[in-house]
Amino acid sequence: MANGNGILRFLACGSVDDGKSTLIGHLLHLSGNLYDDQVLMLQQESAQLGTAGEVIDYSLLLDGLSAEREQGITIDVAYRYFITTRRHFIVADTPGHERYTRNMATAASRCSAALILVDARQGVLPQTRRHVLICALMGIRRLLFAVNKMDTTGWSEQTFREIQAQCNHVAVDLERFGLPPAECLAIPVSGLFGDNLTHLSTRMPWYDGLTVMGWLHAIAPGEGMLEAPSRFPVQYVIKVARSGGNWQEKVEQDLRRGGTGTFRAYAGTVVSGSLKCGDPVAVLPSGLRTRIRELWCGDGPMQNASAGMSVALCLEGEHDIVRGDMIVADDRQMELAYLFKVRLVWMDDQPLYAGRHYLFKGLAGTATAGITRIRGRIEPDTYQRLAADHFMLNDIGEVELSLSRPIPFDPYGENRETGGFILTDRLSNTTVACGMILHALRRADNVPRQCEEVAPPERAAIKGQQPCVIWLTGLSGAGKSTIANCLERKLHTRGRHTMLLDGDNIRQGLNRDLGFTEAGRIENIRRIGEVAKLMTDAGLIVITAFISPFRAERTMVREILPAGRFVEIHVDTPLEECERRDPKGLYRKVRQGMIPNFTGIDSPYEPPRTPELRLGTTNRQVGECADAIIDYLHDNSLL
pLDDT of amino acid 612:
95
Q: Tell me if residue 617 falls in helix, strand or coil.
A: coil
Sheet holding 7-14, edge to edge: 78-83, 88-93, 7-14, 113-119, 142-148, 183-188
- Asked whether the beta carbons of 418 and 334 are under 8 A apart, the reply is yes
pLDDT of amino acid 158:
96
pLDDT of amino acid 2:
40
pLDDT of amino acid 11:
92
Sort strands 142-148 and 183-188 into parallel, antiparallel or unpaired: parallel
* Euclidean distance between CA atoms 360 and 49, whole angstroms: 46
Q: Is the peptide bond before 285 cis (omega within 30 degrees of 0)?
A: yes
The kind and range of the H/E element at 107 are helix 101-108
Q: Write a three-state SS string for 291-354.
A: EEEEEEECCEEECEEECCCEEEEEECCCCCCCCCCEEEECCCCCEEEEEEEEEEEECCCCCEEC
* Euclidean distance between CA atoms 349 and 99, whole angstroms: 10
Q: Write a three-state SS string for 521-562.
A: HHHHHHHHHHHHHHHHHCCCEEEEECCCCCHHHHHHHHHHCC
- Judge whether 31 counts as a catalytic residue: no
* Euclidean distance between CA atoms 347 and 393, whole angstroms: 5
Identify the segments of the chain with pLDDT beneath 70: 1-6, 49-53, 62-76, 221-224, 240-262, 299, 443-449
Catalytic residue among 66, 548, 603, 637: 548
Q: Report the amino acid identity of residue 77.
A: V
- Asked whether the beta carbons of 454 and 537 are under 8 A apart, the reply is no
* Euclidean distance between CA atoms 160 and 150, whole angstroms: 8
Q: Tell me if residue 274 falls in helix, strand or coil.
A: strand
pLDDT digits (tens, 9 = 90+) for 192-214: 999 999 999 999 999 999 999 99
pLDDT of amino acid 71:
56
pLDDT of amino acid 569:
96
Give the bridge partners for 515, in sequence order: none
pLDDT of amino acid 473:
95
Sort strands 541-545 and 468-473 into parallel, antiparallel or unpaired: parallel
Return the percent helix, strand and coil in the chain, to nearest 5.
30, 30, 40
Question: Residue 552 CA to chain centroid, in angstroms?
Answer: 17
> pTM surpassing 0.85?
no
